[in-house]
Homo-oligomer: A and B are copies of this chain.
Amino acid sequence: MAIIRKTKSVEALLTLFNKAENAMSVVELVKQLEDEMNKTTVYRILERLEESGHLHSFIGKDGLTWYAKCKDCDEAHHHDAHPHFQCLNCGKVECLSVDVSIPKIPNREVVVSHVLIQGKCESCVK
């Protein structure tokens, strides 16, 4: 099920992601949008936006799901091999436009790889 209809709720989500510099956790999104839409709706729209290539998701170290806007991706090709950086101090999560090279693994077929780096972000390292 891809994104088909442009509803107020969809627009609201997209606006948020256009403004946002960093990735956002679903928990955060649900809280931030609780006056505008139902929690279930948030989950469902995020799902659709991911399938249509507008967003990509990943699981943080805390086990929560995070979403970020796809920068170098379109409907056809999804380059989500970039690592995600989670600040241990302020909690911020960002997409890094660095390439992590995953080594070829003998006798195995690699489909996707997820790299999550934790540490101190630019603001917190000072």
Residue of B nearest to A88 (CB): B111
Q: Which residues 52-68 of A sit at the B interface, judged by CB distance below 8 A?
A: 59-61, 63, 65
List residues of chain B with CB within 8 A of the CB of A116: 113-116
A35 on the interface (CB 8 Å rule)? no
Task: Decide if B88 touches A108 in the complex (CB within 8 Å).
Answer: no
Q: How far is the CA of A101 from the CA of B101 in the complex (A)?
A: 8
Query: What number of copies of this chain does the assembly contain?
Result: 2
Q: How far is the CA of A60 from the CA of B79 in the complex (A)?
A: 20
List residues of chain B with CB within 8 A of the CB of A114: 61, 114-118
Q: Which of B103, B107, B125 contacts A107 (CB 8 A)?
A: B125
A90 on the interface (CB 8 Å rule)? no
Task: Decide if B108 touches A85 in the complex (CB within 8 Å).
Answer: yes
| 13 residue pairs A–B, Cβ–Cβ below 8 Å | A59-B59, A59-B61, A59-B63, A63-B63, A99-B103, A100-B103, A109-B119, A109-B120, A109-B125, A113-B115, A113-B116, A114-B117, A115-B115
